[in-house]
Amino acid sequence: MSADTDVEVLRRQGRIVVVGASLAGLRAAETLRDQGFTGSLTMIGDEPYEPYDRPPLSKQALLGRARPEDTALPRRRDIDAEWRLGVAAAGLDRDAKLVRLANGDTVPYDRLLIATGTRARPWFHPEEAALDGVFVLRTRDDSARLHRKLAGAVSRVLVIGAGFTGSEVASACRELGLDVTVAERGPAPLVGALGGVIGAVADRLQRKKGVDLRCGISVTALEGDEVGRLRRAHLSDGSAIDVDVAVVSLGAMRNTEWLAGSGVAAGPRGIACDAGCRVFDVNGIVTDDIYAAGDVARSPHPLFDYQFLALEHWGNAVEQAEIAAHNMICAGPDRRPHLWLPMFWSSQFGVNIKSVGVPSLGDQLVVAQGALAEERFVAVYGYRGRVIAAASFDGAKWLGFYEQQIAAGAPFPPEYRTVDRRTETLHPIDPAFPDPHLPTHGATVTLTGHSPSERRVAFVPAHA
Amino acid sequence: MPTTVWTERRRLRSLRDRGPRRERVQMRLVVDLNRCQGFAQCVFLAPDVFSLHGGEALLFSPRFDEAQQDRVEKAAAACPVQAILVDYSDEPTKGVKPHVG
């Protein structure tokens, strides 16, 4: 079956392959069946487990209030799929329309959904990363291992990186009564996501809860003892601390390596797709049989200057999977755009942190409700005179309102009256995002061919 | 704004109707914490499954057993923002390879 042939035949007897058996993959499969797809459905996942929920892994699971193996996701419906779990996809052959698996098997498809997500960025030094006591946190197994370790005799935990995951780990450790040092290269925790103004609040919160927080510091080396157990960490200010656990929380890497050479626009920043989740090839031509959803996808969003947004958000995985699944088995005019407003949550140090929109685009900020000093507020971010994002600390019930404001392009600073409004904080200030000068790992692209008919784009592989 | 199918009230799969083959039946649960606004109705209705962590953050047990089913159903129904999704299917995962190691 070629790409644009009879949609009805596809819906009845097509072969759909979903690579990635986590939240996005599962919800896509359910949507396909919901919308009447009766062909064959194959779910491929590199982990040996049924789709499970990751957010509890850095919260309930570390606190011992849920077991990591109990986080399997509930099902909305039967999906009648063939599952290939515990084997990773290793390659994509677009000409033969098949996925190659790590065990040598091939799986043919008429439509392919790529939802391979991300993995934890490992510690940069492989020998140090292999020390007993050095952890990352992304999978069920990671969480189980870390929880077991934290339940034993631990003198001090080092958390490397104070993004959301790192901060949640630090919070759980403090709740377990463990001594924690957090080393963050930036000026404050959460600064990349929420800026320095809100980062300063997170900073106070961590210190108040007893975290030994060190900002503007990076970890230069992890040192083991003679039997390979972590014993010390060396910091960029020349100091060293004795630790027996280090949790590397340096963000995520997108699982796109298996697509190398396939000709789809996949790289370290994700897989580029259009607003309908159709994947681009490296020439910028949209494919019609390959779709992407979830953490691994990046697609243009009209509310944010049509920037290609890659969102590592739970809600995005669900929504984009539903859109991708719908579009996979629809004719052109029935397809829908993925226009989800970015949204996420984190709970740490007893505070519920939520955000809607894209705070890091903000050039101004006001505290529209509550007060930073009380660690209970809603901060609204503006971008060129309109509302672009909002973030709340224990103020979740107000965010729906700001979601509408962002969608409607409401003017910034907000002119309306709000509940719990404090006049002293209504003057817009710079939200203090770090300069975007950090080294990028983006793909380098070159143009090849001399005549217009030969002209093609080629990726230059990145050197780590 | 796009809506998700989460708003749909779904029939919970019934554990009671099942044969005696399974001794200890457990159901899966997830809360869409983007939707959750901390109304905490679920915490009152099923305190063994849902709890507040601090003033607003919700913690939930992703798995619960038959004894909790009525309470969890009530909690899911009472949630003002319909953020609680309970298992609808107990379809076996066909073709799952056993986990080794």
What CATH number should be reported for the domain holding residue A278?
3.50.50.60
Burial of A256 (0-12, 13-18, 19+ CB in 10 A): buried
Structural domain boundaries enclosing A404:
350-425
Examine residue B39 and state whether it is found in any structural domain, yes or no.
yes
Examine residue A411 and state whether it is found in any structural domain, yes or no.
yes
Q: How far is B42 from chain A (nearest CA, A)?
A: 16
Structural domain boundaries enclosing B41:
1-11+33-88
Examine residue A452 and state whether it is found in any structural domain, yes or no.
no
Q: Are residues A328 and A392 in the same domain?
A: no
Q: How far is A455 from chain B (nearest CA, A)?
A: 39
**Residues on chain B touching A80 (C-beta within 8 angstroms):** 91, 94
**pLDDT tens digits, A205-244:** 999 999 999 999 999 999 999 999 999 999 999 999 999 9
Q: Which of A334, A369, A395 is the C-terminal boundary of a domain?
A: A334
Q: Residue A72: what pLDDT? A: 94
Q: Residue A248: what pLDDT? A: 97
Instruction: Tell me if A72 and B28 make a contact (CB, 8 A cut-off).
Output: yes
Instruction: Kindly report the pTM of this predicted structure.
Output: 0.89
Instruction: Produce one character per residue of A80-102: b if its CB has 16 or more CB atoms within 10 Å, e if not.
Output: ebebbbbbbbeebeeeebbbbbe
Q: Residue A67: what pLDDT? A: 93
Q: Are residues A131 and A185 in the same domain?
A: yes
Examine residue B55 and state whether it is found in any structural domain, yes or no.
yes
Mean pLDDT, range B41-68, rounded to an integer? 93
Across the beta sheet with A106-108, what order do the strands follow? Answer: A89-93, A98-101, A106-108
Candidates A50, A54, A347: best to mutate against B (most CBs of B within 10 A) is: A347
Examine residue A433 and state whether it is found in any structural domain, yes or no.
no
Q: Residue A331: what pLDDT? A: 87
Amino acid identity for residue A398 in this structure: W
Q: Are residues A36 and A95 in the same domain?
A: yes
Examine residue B100 and state whether it is found in any structural domain, yes or no.
no
Report phi then psi at A179, rounded to 5. Answer: -75, 135
The residue of chain B with its CA nearest to that of A26 is B93
d(CA A133, CA A224): 9
Examine residue B54 and state whether it is found in any structural domain, yes or no.
yes
**pLDDT tens digits, A279-299:** 999 999 999 899 999 999 999
**pLDDT tens digits, B11-20:** 444 444 444 4
Instruction: Tell me if A48 and B88 make a contact (CB, 8 A cut-off).
Output: no
Examine residue B96 and state whether it is found in any structural domain, yes or no.
no
Q: Residue B95: what pLDDT? A: 72
**pLDDT tens digits, A148-174:** 999 998 999 999 999 999 999 999 999
pLDDT of A325 higher than 50? yes
Query: CA neighbours within 13 Å on the CB side: how many for A133?
Result: 25
Number of domains in chain A: 3
Instruction: Tell me if A83 and B93 make a contact (CB, 8 A cut-off).
Output: yes
The ipTM value here is: 0.86
Examine residue A385 and state whether it is found in any structural domain, yes or no.
yes
Q: Are residues A245 and A258 in the same domain?
A: no
Q: Are residues A373 and A384 in the same domain?
A: yes
Candidates B3, B27, B34: best to mutate against A (most CBs of A within 10 A) is: B34
Examine residue B97 and state whether it is found in any structural domain, yes or no.
no
Mean pLDDT, range A338-342, rounded to an integer? 89
Average pLDDT score over chain A: 90
Instruction: Tell me if A396 and B38 make a contact (CB, 8 A cut-off).
Output: yes
What CATH number does residue A392 fall under? 3.30.390.30
Contact A375, A349 (CB under 8 A): no
Q: Residue A227: what pLDDT? A: 95
**Residues on chain A touching B88 (C-beta within 8 angstroms):** 74-77
Which B residues in the span 9-68 are in contact with A, Cβ-Cβ below 8 Å? Answer: 10, 26-30, 32-34, 36-39, 53-63
Q: Are residues A137 and A237 in the same domain?
A: yes
Q: Residue A82: what pLDDT? A: 95
pLDDT-derived band at A146 (thresholds 50, 70, 90) equals very high
**pLDDT tens digits, A32-83:** 999 999 999 999 999 999 999 999 999 999 999 999 999 999 999 999 999 9
CB atoms within 10 A of CB B99: 12
d(CA A132, CA A230): 6
Q: Which of A117-126, B50-59, B82-91 has the lowest mean pLDDT?
A: B82-91
pLDDT of A367 higher than 50? yes
Examine residue B58 and state whether it is found in any structural domain, yes or no.
yes
**Residues on chain B touching A87 (C-beta within 8 angstroms):** 97
Q: Which of A228, A250, A272 is the C-terminal boundary of a domain?
A: A250
Q: Which residues does residue A235 pair with via DSSP β-bridges, in sequence order?
A: A219
Q: Furthest-apart CA pair in chain B: how many Å?
A: 45
Examine residue B40 and state whether it is found in any structural domain, yes or no.
yes
Q: Residue A130: what pLDDT? A: 97
Q: Are residues A309 and A277 in the same domain?
A: yes
Q: Are residues A259 and A110 in the same domain?
A: yes
Number of domains in chain B: 1
Q: Residue B20: what pLDDT? A: 43
Q: Residue A426: what pLDDT? A: 72
Examine residue A97 and state whether it is found in any structural domain, yes or no.
yes
Q: Are residues A108 and A79 in the same domain?
A: yes
| Percent of chain A scoring above 70 in pLDDT | 92
Give DSSP secondary structure letters for A133-161.
TEEE-SSHHHHHHHHHHHHS--SEEEEE-
What CATH number does residue B4 fall under? 3.30.70.20
Of A31, A65, A74, nearest to B29 by CB-CB distance is A74
- Both tokens of B95, joined, read 């073709």
